[in-house]
Every structure is written in structure tokens, then in C-alpha cells.
Amino acid sequence: MISLVHSPEYAKHQNETHPENQKRLEVLMNSLRKKGLLEKLNVHQPDPASEEDILRVHTSEYLKNLKTFTEQGGGYLDFDTYASPQSYEIAKLAAGGAIKASELTLEQYNFAYSMARPPGHHATSNSAMGFCLINNLAVAIKYMMKKYAIKKFLILDIDAHYGNGTAEIFYQDPHVLYISIHQDPRTIFPGKGFVEETGNGAGEGFNINIPMTPGSRTSDYIYVLEKILEPVCNEFRADFYYLDVGFDGHKEDPLSSLLLDDNFYPWIAGHMRKITPRMTLILEGGYTNNAMAQSNLKMIKVLMDNSITERKRQAHGNHQIKDETKNIYKQITNTFSPFFTF
Ligand SMILES: [Zn+2]
């Protein structure tokens, strides 16, 4: 059983010339509609997150500035992050979408997917960044901690970029294990997300970064994730799982130099489903129209249909695993040997 959390209001955060624009969700929704999947997806509308919910993650000063900025007409908050006049309200709705999907996963569905925008994983406690205004996932986690006293959370972030905001917010928290697989930060925004960034204080060992070299393919991703995910998940024993989904690692995406194909997204959904029967999905990036819609569709189908197996062999294809990929795996096992057994 799967549910989709979505609102047409998300289109009001808008800038037609920007890659993170209102077309992204329109294309995803149209592709689900065309395939006749929308009726089967149990679509729920989100409510906006309250300021109290958001203030568990962001500073009141930042929130106030964001509100004032949008009320005055919006514009660019930094060189690549915009806010339009209604963006403050829409960002609250996107955070509310993450909350709603989390509650639906807890109470009703095996999987609930918040297909919202603006995305959130670059937003830090006191700053907008990388197209993100409010850190939707972090707001949802703090809400689930507070309202349901859930203790341990695991996040797998597969966006092409390191989710520096999410990492920072939970960097000292041993109850939130953040695993991010992304393009090597020496070659891409935000320039962070190296293996050595393992967390701090009590949170040390709970921030696992898997930086992949440009040109990495589905086979490279599967090589590393197959070795790392299951043992780490089994050892950490999370109460609640998130898949933070970005489609910008796709080979057709202009914002990364990764070469993932459509098969990666159903593979990772199927692999996570083997690890946990319940999981909340949160949309982050993805800036192609058709490739993103196709990948999204395949991913959702795996979660809808238990009979679709992992199709490991097909996903591996004939590509050789890069030496750099094998080296990254070794580096991770060495760095995390005090914390996890791989
Ligand atoms: Zn991204």
C-alpha cells in the first residue's frame, strides 16, 4: 500500500527560467495520470507545517527574514536560490507534505511519498541554499520525534548533491543516521560530503558519505550500496526510514556528471523494501522532464507491486565497476570500522 502526498499549490513557488521550476511536478503528475496510476496511489493533500514545527529546525531570525523577503516580492536569496511572492507559504506546505507522508507511513501505509517542492536538503538551520528554503525532511523528523516519541531515524539520500543542510542539522545527533550517496564534492555543489565528515560529538559515526566519481553508473551505485546498506541498517536498527529521492544523478540530467539510468531508482526502492516494510519518500532534485518522470514511475511501481523483484542482474548491466568505486568502498569501511561492521 502506497500513498502520494501532493498539492497543486506547489506550482505557486515559481520561476520559469530556473531549473527548479513548477514544470517538474506537473510532468511527474501527468506521467502518473497517463499511466492510470493516480487513482491507485491514495493521494492526500498536505497541511502547511506550523511555525512551531519549523522552528524546531530553523532559527526564528531566518524564518522571519524569509517571510519578509517574500512579502516584499521575493527575488534571489543567493546566486541560485529564488523565492517568489508566495514561496514562504508554499515552503511551509512542502514541509507539511513531509510531515503528512511521515504520519501516513506510521499509521496507514507501507510507503508514503511526499512529492513536493521547493526541495529541502540544502537548507541549513539559518540559511536558504541550493534551491531549498525549508528543510522539509528535517522538519518532519523533529515533528515525529516530538509528537510520537520515535527515537531512531535512518535517511538514505540519493540526490546527486550532498544534503549538507540535513547533515548539518543532525550532525551531532546519534539518533539520526544520515547516509548520502552523491557525486564527489570536489566536482559539484555544495563542495561538502567527504567520507571524513562522519558526524561530531555524540553524532560521530552517524553521518556516512559515499562520494562517487563523475561518470559513475548504476552498476557502481549498486556495488557500493549492496555492500553498505544492509549491514548498516541491521546494526543501527532504525524505528523509521526515509528515502530522500533526487533524480539528478540520471545520465540525462544537466546538473550532475553521474550516469545513472532509469533502472537505478526501482532497484534502490526494491532494495530498501527488502530492508524495511515501511518507508517515507521525500522528493528533492531532478531537472529533466522525461527521464525523471520515467525513473519516478518505475520507482513507484516497485513499491506498489510486491511481485516485482529486484532484477539485480539487469540493473548491473555489463558495465565494469570503476576502480574509484572500489576505493571509495574501502575508504568507507576503514573510516567506519569503529562504528559499523561491513
Ligand atoms: Zn540535487
Mean pLDDT on 112-125: 98
Q: Is the pLDDT of residue 107 over 70?
A: yes
Distance 122 CA to ligand 1 centre (A): 9
Whole-number pLDDT of residue 342: 82
Q: Is the pLDDT of residue 310 over 80?
A: no
Distance 97 CA to ligand 1 centre (A): 19
Whole-number pLDDT of residue 319: 80
Instruction: List, in order of start, the domains of the chain with CATH numbers.
Output: 2-336 (3.40.800.20)
- Summarised one tens digit per residue, pLDDT across range 192-202 is 999 999 999 99
Q: Is the pLDDT of residue 314 over 80?
A: no
Q: Is the pLDDT of residue 312 over 70?
A: no
Q: What is the mean pLDDT of the chain?
A: 96
74: helix, strand or coil: coil
pTM of the model: 0.97
Q: Is the pLDDT of residue 52 over 60?
A: yes
Count Cβ atoms within 10 A of the Cβ of residue 277 and give its class: 0-12 exposed, 13-18 middle, 19 or more buried.
exposed
Mean pLDDT on 225-248: 97
Mean pLDDT on 173-189: 98
Q: Is the pLDDT of residue 313 over 50?
A: no
CA–CA gap between residue 133 and residue 157 (Å, rounded): 18
Report DSSP letters for 18-33, one per residue: SSS-THHHHHHHHHHH
Mean pLDDT on 115-122: 98
Distance 36 CA to ligand 1 centre (A): 28
Mean pLDDT on 206-224: 98
Q: Is the pLDDT of residue 105 over 50?
A: yes
Distance 96 CA to ligand 1 centre (A): 21
Q: Is 122 labeled as catalytic in the residue annotation? A: yes
Of these residues, 122, 161, 182, 271, which one is catalytic? Answer: 122
Alpha carbon of 309 to those of 17, 173, 244, 273, 300: distances in Å? 40, 35, 21, 10, 13
Pairing of strands 111-114, 279-283: parallel
